[in-house]
């Protein structure tokens, strides 16, 4: 367990110290170039394009998983410390916290006196058209993205890593890399206009089901408003994604603000768009929710292996008892 704590601690220390690596040196960007290479018309037939998309969704994320898991395994053969450092680097590269919070804070701050700067910076968070967005709409976009990326950029890879790390660091690192690959595929290919991305979008929906809801719970706990996630249920399904609405709607309810994307969805519609002060509160709240998520991950790293071990011991005793009973019957009087 101490090894898992040390690895997770090192990973987030790296994030706090350095943030995300430059794009040119980031393995996720390298994977993105691979996705760009396969994002092409493999056939004029839409059905065949979808079939090609299935192959891409199944095979592409396996590449980073094998490379990262193999790298951690190779490092571990040198020594436990080398394996732990390699696993921490893998977790660091598959999560993002400091960069997300800093960019969100920059956008929110710029809405107070420089809308053009805010419109330019918010493009790093959202894909919507920003040229005509008001200050409130820009803050809404930034806050929505912070909530969604808490799930995509932190919880989704951290939780499985923490659960698997006490069992196998290479498996934990491979799982984190695979999930990051699935998320990247969805962000690049998962559009209704791209038949090749349908399978990637569906796979991401499945993978993100629990992380999105765990992130929503972390936001509610961090806000000291556990009922926020209950209130959010009525709007959580408003966005087209079956998952992203949960952390966004919970954050909207916890802050008492309206978050919206024009002609797509409105969350907590009876409230007003976030003010500058509320936008700043949102950044702090997402940061606290990240801490809650890390604590939950550590708790799971302790509980899940112990439960698995307990079940294993139970079934071993049951099998031994059954074997003994059968042997006794066969021996007979």
Q: How many CB atoms lie within 10 A of CB 202?
A: 15
Answer whether residue 325 shows pLDDT above 80: no
Least confident of 37-51, 283-297, 309-323: 309-323
Segment 261-277, tens digit of pLDDT = 988 999 999 999 999 99
Average pLDDT for 44-48:
91
DSSP 8-state class, residue 45: S
* 266: helix, strand or coil: strand
Answer whether residue 321 shows pLDDT above 80: no
Confidence of residue 311 (pLDDT cuts 50, 70, 90): very low
Q: Which residue would you say has higher pLDDT here, 323 or 134?
A: 134
- Partners of 265 in the beta sheet? 261
pLDDT at 24: 86
pLDDT at 107: 96
Q: Is 119 exposed, middle or buried, given 0-12, 13-18 or 19+ CB atoms closer than 10 A? A: buried
As a whole number, the mean pLDDT across the chain is 91
The CB-based long-range contact list for 107-112 (8 Å cut-off, 24+ gap) reads 107/138, 107/139, 107/141, 107/142, 108/139, 108/142, 108/143, 108/276, 108/279, 108/280, 108/282, 108/283, 109/276, 109/280, 111/135, 111/136, 111/138, 111/139, 111/276, 111/279, 112/276
**What is the token pair recorded at 265?**
């969805």
pLDDT at 23: 85
Segment 87-143, tens digit of pLDDT = 999 999 999 999 999 999 999 999 999 999 999 999 999 988 888 999 999 999 999
Crossing angle of helices 62-78 and 169-189, rounded to 10°: 150
Confidence of residue 306 (pLDDT cuts 50, 70, 90): low
pLDDT at 175: 97
Largest CA distance in the chain: 94
pLDDT at 312: 46
pLDDT at 317: 57
Segment 195-236, tens digit of pLDDT = 999 999 999 999 999 999 999 999 999 999 999 999 999 999
CA-CA distance, 211 to 100, in Å (whole number)?
Answer: 17
Answer whether residue 319 shows pLDDT above 60: no
Segment 142-189, tens digit of pLDDT = 999 999 999 999 999 999 999 999 999 999 999 999 999 999 999 999
Answer whether residue 284 shows pLDDT above 90: yes
Q: Are 110 and 122 in contact (CB under 8 A)?
A: no
pLDDT at 1: 66
């Amino acid at each position: 367990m101490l090894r898992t704590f040390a690895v997770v601690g090192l990973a987030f220390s790296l994030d706090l110290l350095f943030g995300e690596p430059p794009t040119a040196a980031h393995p996720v960007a390298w994977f993105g170039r691979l996705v760009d290479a396969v994002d092409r018309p493999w056939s004029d037939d839409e059905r065949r394009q979808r079939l090609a998309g299935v192959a891409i969704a199944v095979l592409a994320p396996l590449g980073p998983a094998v490379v990262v898991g193999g790298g951690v395994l190779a490092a571990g053969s040198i020594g436990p410390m080398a394996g732990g450092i390699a696993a921490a680097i893998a977790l660091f590269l598959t999560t993002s916290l400091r960069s997300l919070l800093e960019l969100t804070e920059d956008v929110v701050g710029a809405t107070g006196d420089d809308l053009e700067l805010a419109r330019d910076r918010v493009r790093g968070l959202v894909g919507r058209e920003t040229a005509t967005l008001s200050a409130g709409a820009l803050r809404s976009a930034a806050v929505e993205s912070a909530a969604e990326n808490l799930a995509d950029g932190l919880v989704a890879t951290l939780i499985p890593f923490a659960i698997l790390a006490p069992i196998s660091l290479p498996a934990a690192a491979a799982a984190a890399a695979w999930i990051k690959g699935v998320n990247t595929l969805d962000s690049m290919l998962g559009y209704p206009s791209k038949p090749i991305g349908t399978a990637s979008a569906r796979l991401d929906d499945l993978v993100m089901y629990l992380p999105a809801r765990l992130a929503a719970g972390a936001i509610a706990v961090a806000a000291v408003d556990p009922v926020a996630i209950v209130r959010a249920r009525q709007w959580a399904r408003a966005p087209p994604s079956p998952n992203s609405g949960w952390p966004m709607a919970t954050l909207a309810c916890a802050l008492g603000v309206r978050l919206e994307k024009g002609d797509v969805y409105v969350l907590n519609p009876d409230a007003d768009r976030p003010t500058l002060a509320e936008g700043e509160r949102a950044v702090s709240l997402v940061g606290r929710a990240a801490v809650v998520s890390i604590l939950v991950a550590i708790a799971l790293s302790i509980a899940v292996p112990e439960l698995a071990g307990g079940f294993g011991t139970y079934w071993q005793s049951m099998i031994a008892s059954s074997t003994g009973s059968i042997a006794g019957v066969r021996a007979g009087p």
